[in-house]
Amino acid sequence: MLKSIEKIKGLGVYQSYVKPAGTQDFGLKNLIYGWNYSGKTTLSRLFAQLESRSPNPDLTGCEFTFGGLEEPITEKNFSRCGLSVRVFNSDFISANLHFNGQSFNPILLLGKDSEEALRSIDHLSARIKTAEHIQRRLNERIDELKTRVANAKTDTAKTIRQRLKIDPYTASHLGQDLLAVSKLQSQLLEENELAAAIELALTPDSEKPSTVEKILSSPSIVKLHSEAVTVLAATPSVASMLAPTQN
């Protein structure tokens, strides 16, 4: 642990500070106090530099030495400091405390991890708003297409009703017919086939060809079998066999 501040040079009010002889080393808990502008925040920034292990632009050009370790910590090697240092000062408040959320309920956030979480929340909230806007537009488009399909079915059903003299014939009937037609291998008729189908549909029942409900056929082969047996059983005479050759 850190036990002392051995030297600070060229930093705010600490232009040439050297630890006075007999100064007590740091204990487990230490209290440093002073008047305003006496260097408390400047000193806290020096400790914060040990926490971040990166140079603070406000401390550029200063020299310092912390004692208590095997190797003193200075402005030259502080980036390799292995101590766990945490500083709560005005810089921390400015960078990490948020009492008013822009897109969420007011919440107190502490620490760099929380600051990252805040930025992530803002980013995700913006994405949510964008997604909601897109969803609204898609829903509006879907509703528009549903309306157009419904109107098209109504108009088509009306055309079929008027052309084929079918009454009633509504969009509901058309919907059922579409389901039935969709099961066919081919739903599109040739022009001549369509014309013939419409002509047949418009033909009065009295003028339509008679419909044969059933044809019953019971062919008998008994007589044919008897005649074939008689013919096959007959033995042709020699004269009948030679007659064609004599001619």
Instruction: Give domain status of residue 52, yes or no.
Output: yes
Which pLDDT band holds residue 101 (cuts at 50, 70, 90)? low
Q: In the prediction, which pLDDT does 112 show? A: 63
CA proximity to 48, closest of 109, 103, 90: 90
| pLDDT greater than 70 at residue 99 | no
Q: CA-to-CA distance for 158 and 172, rounded, in angstroms?
A: 11
Q: Mean pLDDT in the chain?
A: 82
* Total structural domains within the chain: 1
CA proximity to 38, closest of 13, 11, 59: 13
CA proximity to 96, closest of 104, 84, 105, 86: 86
Q: Where are the alpha helices (DSSP H) in 30-110?
A: 40-52, 90-96
Instruction: Give domain status of residue 83, yes or no.
Output: yes
Instruction: Give domain status of residue 57, yes or no.
Output: yes
Residue with the bigger pLDDT between 116 and 150: it is 150
Task: Tell me if the bond preceding 168 is cis, omega within 30° of 0.
Answer: yes
Instruction: Give domain status of residue 221, yes or no.
Output: no
Assess contact for 80 and 87: CB atoms under 8 A: no
Helix (H) / strand (E) element for 8: namely strand 4-11
Instruction: Give domain status of residue 128, yes or no.
Output: no
Q: Print the domain residue range for 31.
A: 4-94
Instruction: Give domain status of residue 222, yes or no.
Output: no
Instruction: Give domain status of residue 177, yes or no.
Output: no
User: In Å, how far are 156, 180, 182, 201, 244 from 164, measured between CA atoms?
Assistant: 12, 18, 21, 7, 70
Mean pLDDT of 136-148: 94
| pLDDT greater than 80 at residue 135 | yes
Instruction: Give domain status of residue 209, yes or no.
Output: no
User: In Å, how far are 113, 122, 126, 134, 139 from 130, measured between CA atoms?
Assistant: 26, 12, 6, 6, 14
Q: Among the ranges 113-122, 205-214, 215-224, which has the highest mean pLDDT value?
A: 113-122
Helix (H, G, I), strand (E, B) or coil at 47: helix
